[in-house]
Every structure is written in C-alpha cells, then in structure tokens.
Copies of this chain bind each other. A is one copy, B any other.
C-alpha cells in the first residue's frame, strides 16, 4: 500500500487540479483516517472556484464525504477499522454544551473539513463527529450511497432550514433556492408535514426534481413579483414557513416579504452582503434562525434512518458523476449548471 494518494487542489479561479499528496496520518489520539468512498462538489465550493472568496492556492478542497475507517487513534471508542461512516462537514467534540444542545456544527472545539475531495481523509474528534452506517459500502446500491453522501451536508442543511423555519404539519412552506440544498429543503418540509410546498425555481430540471421531492407549486418569479405571487397563493397572508437556501440579500429580502406575520425564516444559505431589518421583522413578529447545519444531530435523529428505510432519496440531486481525475469537469459542470450536484466516485 502506497503512502501517497490522489487529492483535488485549488490552483486558480476556474482551475482545479489533481495532485499526488501524502496520505493523511493519525495526529491526535482521537483522530481516525478514512478511505473516502464518495465525495462531491458543493455549491459553496463555487464561491472560490469563481474567485469570489479567497482560497489557498495548492490547498485541498471539499467538505462532504462517506468512507470506510482505515486507522483509529488510541482514544477512539465508537468506531473501528472497517466501519462505514458518514463524515459530517463539521467536526465537533460531541461533549460540550453547544454539542449537547444539538449544535455540533458550531462547536467551539470543532471546525470544518476542507480536504474531502481526496482518496483519504483525517477526521479529528472522531467520536464526536462521524455517524456510523450499518454494514459496508458494498451492501448498498449506488443510489443509496449517493443518498448517504447527502447526509454529510446538503440533506442535513435543507433539514436545518426546515427545522429552523419551524415547519409544522399543514403549513404552507416556501423554499428559496433550487440548488441541491433547496431541493433537500423540499424533502425536509415534506418530512415535517408541510401540506403545501412552494419551490422557487426557474430551471426545468430542478423544478422537476422539486416536484418529485414533494413540491406542490413552482414559482419562477423573483423579487416583488415572487412576493406578490406567494401572497396571492396564500390569501394575502404569506407563507407559514420560509426556507432561505441562497444567502443573498435579494433572496433574504424576498423571504421577509413573503413570510406570514409570525413566521420564522430558516436560513442556511451562507450570507453574502445580507442585512437584516431589525424593525421590519420586529413589527411583523418574523423570526430568523439558522446557520451551519448540525449534521450529526439530524443524522442521528432521523435522517440516517430515513435514508436507510428508503423514505427519502436525496441522492437524486446528483445528476453528474466523476472520478477524482476529472475534478475540473465536476466543478465546471456545477459552475455552468449542467448538473445540479456533482458526485465524485472513488
């Protein structure tokens, strides 16, 4: 077994490369090293790919993966070599008050992965981070593996949007954003019992998948036209819950405009240039909740079972598949919206 591996690295805006890098090794007693089975490209990776946010040249990329445990630090108790695990995009201690409150994604002792698009990955704080999957990858179909991969980020993030928006049975929920997270938000709104799910989409492939996932209505309009449309659909009152899966000021303003008074906006889109009107939201009793999704919390409390039982099939968001040698193609396909989400198969 060689001690080198293939890994994706950022070279310049618009240019990814595959490099031979040393395989990661155990560094701390609570580390594990996994062999990555599936990884993928995230919509948020496009920010640096497009040169809009800084990224280390030559640095590794990717924060979504599933894999098989290969090495285990001496302090690790919950997994052993050969175990199949989902690796949530945040790592976390699992023991502090923040983790215990179900917010592992913002554990002050944790952080975020940025090296998952590679053959091997070191996982710190393994006991507080990974989610064990029964059996081994070979026990699952490609479709199941794809769905398991989504609960490392996008499915859990869409779920966080729905939980944060306090979607209740019978609600009319609006999902802002038709990327993979928004589409998973549709699944999540349905899981929480929304009876009407309005997906904001103007791309036919995404709208079709939104319908398959449970959207009852598609609204292609934007800005005031979108607000007017949703108000018209809700007797003038607005939506009971809004899942904000974009993060732009435009999307956020629209979300506030179409929310029913007393509604909560569940936001999971990384905010860019967003300002929240403290007064406008106050006098409408509109709440704002959300942030990086506590993936582990949701996976252990429903999402893993929902995937294993076949209740949900979020892996359908992967409409393109690549090997690590074609990482540039994977990024380009996402960037050019040729695929909804690009899977990396090892």
Contact = CB atoms under 8 A, between A and B. Distances in A.
B279 A271 contact: yes
A139 interface: no
Interface string A89-119: 0000000111001110111100000000000
A1 interface: no
A23 B240 CA distance: 41
Contact of A282 (B108, B262, B270): B270
B106 A283 contact: yes
A5 interface: no
A264 B289 CA distance: 8
A211 to B, nearest CB: 25
B282 A267 contact: yes
B102 A262 contact: yes
Copies of this chain in the oligomer: 2
Interface string A310-321: 000000000000
B285 A105 contact: yes
A287 B288 contact: yes
A176 to B, nearest CB: 15
Given A96-B237, A252-B278, A262-B101, A287 B290 contact: yes
Interface residues of A, number: 43
Contacts of A137: none
A276 interface: yes
- Please report whether the interface of chain A is mostly helix, strand, loop or mixed according to DSSP: mixed
A278 B271 contact: yes
Interface string A271-299: 10011111101111111111110100000
Nearest to A269: B282
Given A108-B261, A240-B101, A285 B278 contact: no
Nearest to A291: B285
A163 to B, nearest CB: 11
A285 B106 contact: yes
29 contacts: A97-B235, A97-B240, A98-B261, A101-B260, A103-B261, A103-B285, A105-B285, A106-B261, A106-B262, A106-B283, A108-B236, A164-B287, A252-B278, A271-B282, A274-B278, A275-B275, A276-B276, A281-B288, A282-B291, A283-B291, A284-B291, A285-B289, A285-B291, A285-B294, A286-B291, A287-B289, A287-B290, A288-B289, A289-B289
